Structure 1
Amino acid sequence: MPVLLVAEQALNGLQYGMMLFLMAAGLTLVFGVMGLINLAHGSLYMVGAFACAWIAAATGWFWLGLLASLIAAAAAGALIEILVIRRLYSRDHLDQVLATFALILVFSEGTRWLFGSFPLYLSLPPALTGAVTLPGGLQYPLFRLVIILVGGAVAVGLWLMITRTRLGIRIRAGEADREMIAALGVDISRLYTIVFALGAALAGLAGALVGSIQSVQVGMGEPVLILAFVTVVIGGIGSIKGALIGALLVGMTDTLGKALLPGVLARFMDASSANTIGASLASMLIYILMAVVLILRPQGLFGARA
């Protein structure tokens, strides 16, 4: 198998993993700090994508659309936390699932009412189009490299925030013992709103970046949400490091599996069967990976033991 093909697919897996990290980082913060199962996280991803597409189309400035994705997703996240989510913290997880599933329907129908059922498309600025030549002669799209760099920068920024800032200390304390930090005078409701808005902003950024290489459409967040949950389970609930490692594992496993498995199986069977079986096995690989991690380490790779 050509080395350049493997290298290209590895970069695709890295780019996919960084996109999943942006989704999973916010999800694991909300899940770990607030103990909330938020099925509406994918809808915030969709909000960011539509905000970016609409503002970029209206103004002609992609960068303004990217900023709008952060603001719109964070504002939507803060609003639903105050109006809906705040009433669910003391409720059973089933109530949280039902309420946030209802939010998916509200966001989907509201977005369809505002923008219609047809997909939107984002145009990249000239500075981000084209390909760059990497060592070995590999031509790779510049914007996909930008996504990788943005994901890495966000990972470093989150690590610095969690470990070096007062907000990060409060987030870690809230994850460990929310009753104690409330007793010490920390406004726990405000902290939860900030955490939820931060997670929403990261999801919105992921939606805007992915919407720039795919179409922006209603319901685009649900498939990504499933993979984000898988990433959180693999990495460990509440761990940013776990979200990053889990996202990279899922991205690489999914991308390389789909690209390489049919070719490997073709050495032992006919091409048609190899393509069919390879595609089926590739779609199962990330769930097999999750099962193996849970068997060996039930709390996830970097999750704390209960």
Structure 2
Amino acid sequence: MRRTAPTLALCLALAGPAACTAPDTEPPPAPAGLTAQAGSATTVHVMWEAAAERDGVTGYQVFEAGRLVRELPADKSMVDITGLTPQTAYAFTVRAEDAAGNLSGTGPAASATTPAATAEDRRAPTAPAATTGRATGPRAAGLSWSAATDDTGVTAYDVYQGGVRIHTVGPGETSTALSGLRPDTVYTFTVRARDGADNSSPDGPAVDVTTPPASGDGPGTAPAEFTATASPGTVTLSWTAPDTGRETSEYELYVNGRPTTVIQFGAGAVPSGRAEHRIAVTEPAGTVWAVKLRARLPDGNWGAFSAERTVTLKA
């Protein structure tokens, strides 16, 4: 029987340790929402819905035709299965595992057929020319994009967030729904096309999607309309201050995923609308920064992050 922390604490208080040591023999639920999409002649992208925290899942096992092919930690809910054979049908299933070693059953298999290989194909597809997106709830969004072209044919579209691929759909699709997002968060998405030789296009245009706060969370806390512009020796940041009920005088700046400094505006200089900050840079020209920031809220906590912007430094 799986015990959650509150239930175990109550058991210990009422019955003592001896009555609360029954082994966990209950398996977690089978992963839901399993899909498989061929990304090239030799790869298939397998995805499923992440388990709820209450299920106590610590990892996943991916099977092809009953044969274990990958093991993943609980924070991963997709994987590329590589080294496959062109023009071959595959069927995948996934099982969840908990800390006690209990394995879930398997839901319905997801099938995919790899396309034919194309010899000496080194030409990447064109980038999708346009991307649009909108939040469809506090934890979900919808994206759409223009179809790309390729000399041998597009086999998949990959959705990226913060430089990480988070979703893959088939060649005939130019829209998708994303789930598992966080409320009151700005996401920056791009889409790349891929062909049968695993050549990826450049990113299509980035689109920002802001998820609304969950019910009862109050107004959004992320700085809006964030931009980053490079000029010789300087990066200029600009954004619209969030509506926190007070003037926002502190912002935490992240560069390449790491906190680097706290931007502070002195008394009498706190921006109430559009804010701007210049950073002197000494790194070589051509260095790439990925920058984002978040505001200090009236309760002392940091708010949600702005969109992330990529900027190339100039001499």
Larger radius of gyration: 2
More relative contact order, 1 or 2 (CA 8 Å, 6+ apart): 1
Please give the TM-score of this superposition, normalised by the length of structure 1. Answer: 0.25
Query: Of Structure 1 and Structure 2, which has the larger fraction of its residues in strand?
Result: 2
Query: Of Structure 1 and Structure 2, which has the larger fraction of its residues in helix?
Result: 1
